[in-house]
Amino acid sequence: MIQRDYLIIGSGIGGGSVCEGIRQYDKKGSVTLVGAETFHPYKRWLLSKQFLREKTPALKKLPYLDERWYESHKIEARLGTVVTQFNIDRRLAVLGNGETIEFKKACLAMGSRPVRPQVAGIGLGNVIYLRTIRDALALREMSQSEKLIVVVGGGLLACEVAASLRLGKLKVAIMHRHQTLLNRYLDPETAAWVTEHFAKQGVTLLLGSSLNGFEGKTVLRNIQTKSGERVPAGVAIVACGSEPALDIVRNTPLSSPLGSPVTDYLETEEKGIYAVGDLAFYPDRLMGGMRRQTHWENAREQGLIAGANITGKKRQRYEQIPYFWTEFFDLRLDFVGDFNVAPTRVQLTGSYAKARFVVRHYQGEKLRGIVLCHHSTSDVEAAKSELRQALGK
Ligand SMILES: Cc1cc2nc3c(=O)[nH]c(=O)nc-3n(C[C@H](O)[C@H](O)[C@H](O)COP(=O)(O)OP(=O)(O)OC[C@H]3O[C@@H](n4cnc5c(N)ncnc54)[C@H](O)[C@@H]3O)c2cc1C
C-alpha cells in the first residue's frame, strides 16, 4: 500500500494550487496529485477562447505551471488516473488501476462536469461538451468538416464558444431558451446589447427555443425544439451549466447537491479533509450565505489557501469577493460580486456605443455586483474595493 501525507484528488487549477500552497509551508511532506486527465493543471479557460480560435491549437500556452515545477517540488503527479473509491474512515483512496493510497490528509479538487440534459439523442455522435483539452481538440476537428454548428445554451461558455467558432468564419447558431444571452448575469438592457452584438457578428440566434432532443441515426442531423421546430445541425455543443463532480463521496457528509460543504478554512466536516474549487460549497462571509463558484480565480485562491491550511502551519480564511470574467469577439466583461439574484435596480456609467461601461447592480440600496466592460485590471481591483467598502468589510 502507498502511504502519503497529502493526497490531492483532481489535477485542475484547484488541485494544482493546493500543491503550491502545501509547498509554501511544508517542503518535505509526501504529496500525491491524482488526476483523470493526462495533463498537468492547465489554463482551462483558454479552451473556449484562443485555443479554439487559433489556426493551430496552442498546446504550449495551456500549462499553468511547468511540469518540471512538480518534479522539482517533489509532487508525485499520477495523471491519466482516476480515484474510484474514497474511504473517509480508513483514510484510503482506491485508484482505477487497483492501487490503494493511504493518506493522512486529503483535498477534494475534482471540479465540475457539464450537465447532460435528459433528452432524446444525447448520446449521438457530434453532440459534444467542452470541458477538457480532448473535447476542444475534437471540437476543432469536427467543426472544420461540418456546415452548421449549434451551441445549446446562452451562458458564459456558450457565448465564448460561439464567438470563437464564428471568428473562424464558421456558420454558428446559438439556441437559448431565454430572449437574451447572459440573462443570468446581466440586466435586461445590457443583455440585449450583448445579444445584438452577437447578431451583428453573424451568429444566428434561436432565442426563446427550448431543447427537446437531438435527432439522427448515429450522428446528429437535427435539433428539435419544444415548440416542434427542427434545426439542422452538424455539431451541437451542449453548454447548459455544470455540476460538482462528487461521485466518489456520494452519500457522505462530504457531498450535497450544492457542492461539498466546507468551513471558512475550506475544511469539510471530516478533520483533515478539505475541498476546493468548482465543487466547494463555502460560507461567503463578505456577500453572505453559502456559495459555490465555478470560476478560475476562486479555484486558484481556494487551492492556495487550503494548501496552506492543510499543512497545519497556517490557518487562513477564504474571504474573497466573488469574481469572474469572460471574453467574446472584441469584448471583455469582468464581474465583481454576487449575480445569483437579479438586481432590483442598476446604474449604468459609460456608453454601450463605445463598448466601455460599468453597470452597478443593487438590491434595494445595497450594492451587490459590478459589471465592467473593457476596463483595466486596476479598475477591476478598484471595483472589488468599492464593493467591500459598500458591504462594510
Ligand atoms: C471551456 C471553459 C472556459 C472557461 N472560461 C473561464 C473564464 O473565462 N473565466 C473563469 O473565471 N472561469 C472559466 N472557466 C471555469 C474554470 O476553468 C473553472 O472554474 C476551473 O477550472 C475550476 O478548477 P477546479 O480545479 O476546481 O476544477 P477542474 O478544472 O474541473 O479540474 C478538476 C479535475 O479533476 C479531475 N477529476 C474529476 N474526478 C476525478 C477523479 N475521481 N479522480 C481523478 N481526477 C478526477 C477532472 O478530470 C479535472 O481534470 C472555464 C471553464 C471551461 C470548461
Instruction: List C-alpha distances in Å: 285 to 11, 280, 327, 361, 393.
Output: 27, 15, 29, 19, 9
Express each pLDDT in 221-267 by its tens digit: 999 999 999 999 999 999 999 999 999 999 999 999 999 999 999 99
Query: Identity (one letter) of the amino acid at 90?
Result: R
Indicate which atom in ligand 1 lies nearest the CA of residue 280.
Answer: 26
Q: 325 pLDDT band (50/70/90 cuts)? A: very high
pLDDT over 90 at 147, yes or no: no
The reported pLDDT for the residue numbered 57 is 86
Q: Per-residue confidence at 58, pLDDT binned at 50, 70, 90? A: confident
List the end-to-end C-alpha distance of the chain, in Å, as a whole number: 48
Of 377, 368, 185, which is closest to residue 286 (Cα–Cα)? Answer: 368
pTM over 0.85: yes
| 163 and 180 in a common domain | yes
Same structural domain, 162 and 90: no
pLDDT in tens, 343-362: 999 999 999 999 999 999 99
Q: Are residues 272 and 378 in the same domain?
A: no
The alpha-helical segments, DSSP class H, found in 133-238 are: 133-145, 156-167, 188-200
Q: Residue 39 is which amino acid? A: F
Are 305 and 368 within one domain?
no
Cell of 347: 446604474
Same domain for 194 and 145? yes
* Coil, helix or strand at residue 60: helix
Q: CA torsion sign, 371 to 377 to 383 to 384?
A: positive
Quick one: 227 and 254 in the same domain? no
Domain boundary, last residue among 238, 254, 269: 238
Closest CA to 373 of 345, 337, 335: 335
Q: Which protein residues are within 6 Å of ligand 1, measured from CB? A: 9-15, 34-37, 44-45, 47-48, 82-83, 109-112, 130-131, 157, 245, 248, 277-278, 294-297, 299, 324-326
What is the enclosing helix (H) or strand (E) of 280? strand 280-283
* CA 296 to ligand 1 center in whole angstroms: 8
Q: What is the pLDDT of residue 278?
A: 98
- 301-328 average pLDDT score: 98
Q: Which atom of ligand 1 is nearest to the CA of 131?
A: 53
Query: What residue numbers bound the domain in which 163 lies?
Result: 116-238
What is residue 146's predicted lDDT score, i.e. its pLDDT? Answer: 86
Please tell me the distance between residue 263's alpha carbon and the centre of ligand 1 in angstroms. Answer: 21
Whether residue 29 is found in the same domain as residue 98? yes
Cα 299 to middle of ligand 1, angstroms: 8
298 occurs within a structural domain: yes
**179 CB burial (10 A radius; 0-12, 13-18, 19+):** middle
Site to probe by mutation for ligand 1, drawn from 242, 278, 335 as the one with most ligand atoms within 8 Å of Cβ, is 278
Site of grid cell 464593493: 387
* In-domain check, residue 161: yes
Closest by CA position to 65, among listed 46, 45, 39, 47: 39
Q: How far is the CA of 14 from the centre of ligand 1 (A)?
A: 8
Q: Are residues 73 and 128 in the same domain?
A: no
Residues 103-113: tens digit of each pLDDT:
999 999 999 99
pLDDT band of residue 280 (cuts 50, 70, 90) is: very high
279 contacts 245 by C-beta, under 8 angstroms = yes
Rounded CA-CA distance 111/243 in Å is 9
Q: What DSSP element (H or E) covers 350?
A: strand 345-351
Cell reading at 143: 467543426
Please check the confidence at residue 310 and state whether its pLDDT lies above 90: yes
Q: How many Å lie between the centroid of ligand 1 and the Cα of residue 278? A: 7
40 in a structural domain: yes
Q: Output the residue whose Cα is nearest ligand 1's atom 7.
A: 45
| Dist. CA 200 → ligand 1 center (Å) | 31
- Nearest Cα neighbor of 237 from 176, 324, 328 is 176
